[in-house]
Chain A
Amino acid sequence: MSRFIATRAIRGANRIVQEAEDLLEKALAEHGPDTKVTFPNTAYYLPVILGLTGREVATLGDLKPALAQAGSLLHPVPRDQLWTPYLGEALDGGVATLLAEEAIMGIKYALGEQPERLDGYPDLVTAGGEGYCNGPIDDVQLRAWGIQLVDGRMPGFAAIVGAAKSNEVAVKIVRELQMRNILVFLCGNVNGRSIIHQLLEEGVELGYDTYIIPFGTDTISAIYPLGFATRSALTFGGMKGGQAREILLYNKFRVFAFVLALGEVDDLKYATAAGAISYGFPVIADTVIPEILPTGITQYEHVISMPFDDIEGQDDLERAERLVQKCIEVRGVKVKIAEIPIPVPYGSAFEGERVRKDDMRIEFGGKKARALEYLLMRDPDELEDGKIELVGPDFDEVEEGGAMDVGIVVEVGGRKMQKDFEPVLERQIHYFLNAAFGVQHIGQRDIAWIRISKMAADKGFRLKHFGEILYARFKGEPWNSIVDKAQVTLITDPEEMKKWLEAAREAYNERNVRVAGLTDDAVEEFYSCTLCQSFAPTHVCVISPERLGLCGAYNWLDCKAANQINPTGPNQPISKGECLDPEVGRWSGPEEFVYQHSNQSVEHVTMYSIMTDPMTACGCFECMVLVIPEANGVMIVSREDPSMTPAGLTFSTMAGIFGGGLQTPGAMGVGKYYLTSPKFISADGGFKRVVWMSSFLKETMPEEFKAVAEREGVPDLIDRIADERSVTTVEELLPWLEEHDHPALKMPPML
């Protein structure tokens, strides 16, 4: 701290704690202590209060001791002369501020005053509703981002507080962050103007899909980003409420976040910033404020002032760019921006952005046309590296909003390239193309569907830019370690298209056969995935052909490719070794590997059983499988499903209990494609044990489950499995299963 900042932070802290206490007294008097206090769709109560104090706030009455604790962290402001030290005191004030701010938001939720409604902005659509700011990010979204946060694709988040110098600057700052895949959290205002207003006025799409989350136009809503940070530690780090120091240090070292204060900084902003600094998040301001450059609480500088007009640059846009660069530097994140010669911004923050029909220049695929994508391996000598060819006309002649066929053929070669990697690489096309601003990509293979927006087309985006993107990405890290040469052909010529379609379909078939033949028994090696150990240090995924990683993002082939790409990385081959028990899927190799790589905390592991030494669970699994002893079966809840389950727990609560690298017989986190594997808890009776399953799964994978049901010899099995629409308690479940004659009831006892 500097004394200037400490004075304001401590003053702000004292004031906001008082404000929270007053608000609470009033709410208690009017509504009583038993009034429920909850944030929507989270299992973590009020997460900052839970994390830092261990208190599970569920009612207004529960807030009293939490605020008392905040009060105990308050100190007097430093004297003008003969001051006593103020850094520790100001940081304490910062934490007190966060506790108070979260209490205020808790009270406002109880009173129906959150999330904040923004009148006059009909385009604002968030998880908080139409015309509303977002409120806290729900657990589902947090987990959905989990793997990207873990593997570094999403470096972290920027909490922007205040308003930019101009709308133009606001948009530029946000675009720069999006290009680096940094989550953008918006809050606060300067004299009533918020960056949220600025972006909405400029038509910027806000919401989970674009990585830009508007939390609220007051400073207090900055508590939501810090709640997100706290829950990251609880969700992925396996920490428990009350482990304050561990949670804060986890954020310092693992969550690459920073605060960008735009416009004048007042007492409450300083106080909130002091709270953020305790999380190790540095603060960068675009105005004149004192700087705090010595490091320690944060990994790099604590507070940086970059008065906007003093930033070198030709114009405000360039200054905005430099400002963002500095923010990233201060957090010590190495963020490489893919330098791709296309006329639109590029970054995975743009992956989720939609191109609506009205905004669309052209589409490929969909109902009216066909889009094909096919990646194949070639002898490098046959390839002309960097060649991008368009066979047939571009889309200029097609009317606005129209459709045309396109084939995207990527040919790659390299000494380390293998035929098996073709589908692994081909699957990347979706992510690569989607990351261009103004391009929307859905599907794969010959059922791909791509849209280009008018904006992108106006800026000059044409078909060859697909080639530019794909070439740049496959020749960029990390793929360049297996791809030495690449060339891309874009095909719109009908004859040529036909030819390639046939070739691609033949290849798809071959691949399908190959994958079907890829069984656990047919290979000598499984692969580890310890990527999540940065978050859950004792978690080890063992990935076999018939059991993909529990995050759903890595199957056996992915791991094999990843190991080629980075031989010392998190995906290591595990020689199966001696088979110790074929039924539960116990091999000497995985047992030893898991023991060694779990800090010797997990001694045994099986591949096919939920009851006997099941695999550990990190935090970003797609589904939770849990034994229901009463029903002699298991239930499966997907992370998208926020509803109550027969276990009496929601997904989030279960994840909190069983995640973080723990091994719990009877509970297992899995990737959803493991559900369809013949080896799915085969030691315990297989898929027929499933008595309850989130409807989300049934609806998103109907074909796959149909095939499973047939394989299991009960063709209507899926209809006999209950879901949250019919059953949410174990009492309801049993009669329902009997009524539907579920096979599990006749199976041998699980326990």
Chain B
Amino acid sequence: MSDKRSMDPAAVEMLKRAEEMHLSTAFSRAEEMKPCPIGADGRCCKICNMGPCRLVKEGQTGICGATLETVAARNLARAIAAGASAHSDHGRDMAFALIAVAKGEAPGYEIKDVAKLLAVAQDMGLETEGREVEEIALEVGQVALSQFGQQRGELIYLSRAPEPRQEIWRKLKLAPRGIDREVVDILHRTHMGDDQDAEHILHQALRCSLADGWGGSMIATDVSDILFGTPSPLVTKVNLGVLKEDEVNVVIHGHEPTLSMAVVDATRDPELIEYAKSKGAKGINIAGICCTSNETLMRQGVPSAGNFLHQELAIITGAVEAMVVDVQCIMQALSDLSDKFHTKLVTTSPKVKIKGATHIEFDEHRAPEVAREIVRLAIDNYPNRREVHIPEVLADLVPGFSHEYIRYMQGGYYRASFRPLNDAVIAGRVRGAAGVVGCNNPRVCQDEAHHYIVTELLKNDVLVVQTGCGAIANAKYGLLQGEAALEYAGPGLREVCETIGIPPVLHMGSCVDNTRILTLLTEMATEGGLGSDISDIPGVGIAPEWMSEKALAIGAYFVASGVYVLFGVSSPVEGSEEVTRVISQGWEEKVGGKLEFEPDPGKIVEKSLEHIDKKRKALGLVEYDPSRFGRSGDRRMQEWLERREKGEPVSLYKEAAP
């Protein structure tokens, strides 16, 4: 069932239903409306009221004289600042939640992962010996919070990066001073009549992005782990088929785990389950969408109804009693769409209201109460259900790969390290590593680029880590299972996967959890044998179907950390050759990483492998040669056992029949 809108049969089925019902979706709107050609290339300046200026002719400037590169750079920098502020604000909320929990003011929450709390406290340089957990948690929360308003010095988490990387940041004045300060700095310098040197503007964009990656996002990840547990692998399911025909379906969508965890708890409340039964449902089913789903998938194994572009499709099943949203990536279209069904759209964040939605404001000080109110609302809505059409499409996946677990899985409690992974890269069993992350974008066929790029990389023995909607994308096609290693991975990668028992694609969390990838890269750089800095590692970062400003912030902080980053779809700075040069060549000279936009997934794969091989060569590693690997694993043992079962003659001392 090929369809240019989505490679996901569940999506295609729902899109067909949408057509039948004459419903508009992001897919249809994308078909109806082409991107604004001026804005798409970064040629539009609407920073002051002398414009908006459209710089479409050769050498043309804005009213103020701003050149195309200044305009494109300012637009990109502002997008990065917006992305960084979204992640970081998420981190700030988590810090507030931690403080509330530490003070005993947040019923329903606890310090679930004391070991992580202590590790974070130590990284922050805090005393842990002989102190109460709550006391430490309070101080960790306060230090985390202080990072946002800090004005001078540098962010505390920078010290987690490899030493040479820290040196580069300091030398180039890229070390962020405070999270909020770097965002405000960008808003200021991109105001009319300020910084008008593209390279200079983009330099600050890097600094701001670092305040996200090694600041706000990292705080968000750490505090989430402290409050809800550091993920470790578990088995769960993905796609619209996880919705239940005979149960109350609550779909949680957005990003912050504070709300979603409380809702998950509420759906497991026996009293509410009884209440649901009283309304004729068999129970309460909870499923996630987008990164809220990733948070609950990673920790509780709550099934995922799908990624970003599934938000409307879930409602179109007619089976969703309530879609509960908090922040980021929530389409306003949900409001109108849910009106066409019985679905209640519930907004919860003080920052996010959508016209037409029910607003039940979330407050971590009374989370269980709010969550129960929301679930009750969903239950009450169950009798209003009309026709239901749930695609019978779903897949299994094994998520839960925090960097802590990745370390553990390579040696157990006593021998945990990154040695096996580094060894595998050094030997050439694993050619390199790729982080394939980011969104869905209806401008390209849903999931197709994610799937194509990842399967190609696997074939070439590149270990893939994923987060966000990209992870959910490939989970839908079975790539996030141990079995996938046997089917999709090249011979060397298969051996490594089989040794550890991992899928060839590791799901590392939501989009704020891209910081886990930073930590993973740091561990690889410091383990030994792969240089001493992140930029030495044979690896790439790819966002094949990106759409949000957060994706740009993530891309930028990976570049600033030394990674070659490739974005698909289209370039927001296409119009300016100079800006295109600054963010690739220019940035590479400065920080060792570069940002490129490459719409062709085939070329993304090509460039990735080329870059990985380039880095391998620079490290003096053996040339990648898959023919040397693939001997180990269970296969030949299984064949031997099968022969024995069939009653054929076998000898323990002989592999083949004697």
Chain A interfacial positions (CB closer than 8 Å to B) = 1-4, 6, 52, 73, 78-79, 81-92, 94-95, 165, 244-245, 248-249, 263-264, 278, 286-297, 301-303, 307-310
Contacts and interface: CB of A to CB of B under 8 A. Distances in A.
A298 to B, nearest CB: 10
B525 to A, nearest CB: 16
A263 B437 CA distance: 48
A82 B501 contact: no
B603 interface: no
12 contacts: A3-B634, A278-B414, A287-B653, A290-B632, A290-B634, A291-B631, A294-B499, A297-B410, A307-B652, A309-B658, A310-B653, A310-B655
Given A286-B653, A290-B636, A2 B412 contact: no
A291 B638 CA distance: 12
B414 A288 contact: no
Given A244-B414, A264-B652, A310-B655, A294 B420 contact: yes
Nearest to A72: B413
A2 B502 CA distance: 11
B626 to A, nearest CB: 14
Q: Would you list the 6 A-B pairs with minimal beta carbon distance, nearest first?
A: A296-B420, A91-B412, A293-B632, A86-B501, A85-B501, A291-B632
Contacts of B412: 87-92, 94-95, 278
Contact of A297 (B233, B413, B419, B655): B419
A244 B416 CA distance: 12
Contacts of B481: 82
Interface of B: 233-235, 396, 398, 400, 405, 408-417, 419-424, 427, 429, 481-483, 495-496, 498-502, 629, 631-634, 636-638, 640, 651-656, 658
A698 B546 CA distance: 83
Contacts of B411: 87-88, 91, 278, 296-297
B652 A2 contact: no
Contacts of A94: 412
A162 to B, nearest CB: 11
B498 A3 contact: yes
Given A82-B398, A85-B233, A245 B415 contact: yes
Given A294-B423, A309-B651, A88 B499 contact: no
B437 to A, nearest CB: 21
Contact of B499 (A52, A302, A310): A302
Nearest to B640: A288
A735 to B, nearest CB: 48
Nearest to A52: B414
Contacts of A87: 409-412, 499-501
Given A2-B632, A6-B501, A288 B655 contact: yes
A202 to B, nearest CB: 20
Given A244-B414, A295-B423, A4 B634 contact: yes
B628 to A, nearest CB: 10
Contacts of B500: 1, 85-88
| Residue of B420, B481, B638, B656 with most partner-chain A CB within 10 A | B420
A82 B483 contact: yes
Contact of B409 (A85, A248, A278, A289): A85
B260 to A, nearest CB: 23
B416 A88 contact: yes
Contacts of A248: 414-415
Nearest to A277: B415
Max count, chain B CB within 10 A of own CB: residue among A6, A278, A295:
A295
B652 A82 contact: no
Contacts of B633: 2, 290-291
Given A3-B498, A3-B634, A307-B654, 7 more contacts: A85-B405, A87-B409, A94-B412, A165-B653, A288-B636, A293-B631, A296-B423
B426 to A, nearest CB: 9
B318 to A, nearest CB: 30
A299 B392 CA distance: 48
A309 B416 contact: no
A14 to B, nearest CB: 15
A296 B410 contact: yes
B420 A309 contact: no
B413 A288 contact: no
A84 B401 CA distance: 10
Given A2-B633, A78-B501, A86-B501, A294 B496 contact: yes
Nearest to A86: B501
A2 B421 CA distance: 16
A81 B495 CA distance: 17
A82 B653 contact: no
Given A73-B413, A245-B415, A294 B424 contact: yes
A4 B414 CA distance: 22
A52 B651 CA distance: 39
A332 to B, nearest CB: 13
A447 to B, nearest CB: 52
Given A3-B634, A82-B482, A278-B415, A292 B499 contact: yes
Contact of A1 (B415, B482, B501, B638): B501
A91 B421 contact: no
A165 B654 CA distance: 12
A704 to B, nearest CB: 47
Contacts of A249: 415
A432 B427 CA distance: 40
A1 B235 CA distance: 20
B501 A295 contact: no
Contacts of B496: 294
Nearest to A249: B415
A296 B398 contact: no
A445 B479 CA distance: 74
A308 B499 contact: no
Contacts of B653: 165, 286-288, 307-310
Contact of A309 (B409, B483, B654): B654
A308 B234 CA distance: 40
Nearest to B406: A85
B410 A84 contact: no
Contacts of B234: 84
B632 A288 contact: no
A302 B416 CA distance: 16
A78 B499 CA distance: 13
A92 B427 CA distance: 26
A5 to B, nearest CB: 8
A294 B658 contact: no
A143 B233 CA distance: 45
A248 B412 CA distance: 12
Contacts of A82: 235, 396, 398, 481-483
B420 A295 contact: yes
Given A82-B482, A82-B483, A296-B420, A2 B413 contact: no
A87 B502 CA distance: 9
Contacts of B422: 296
B495 A293 contact: yes
A92 B656 CA distance: 33
A279 to B, nearest CB: 9
A344 B640 CA distance: 40
B424 A84 contact: no
Contacts of A286: 653
Interface centre among A3, A78, A248 (most CB of B within 10 A): A3
A297 B396 CA distance: 30
Contacts of B655: 288, 307, 310
B527 to A, nearest CB: 10
Contacts of A289: 637
Nearest to A291: B632
Nearest to B398: A84
Nearest to B427: A295
B524 to A, nearest CB: 12
Contacts of B483: 81-82
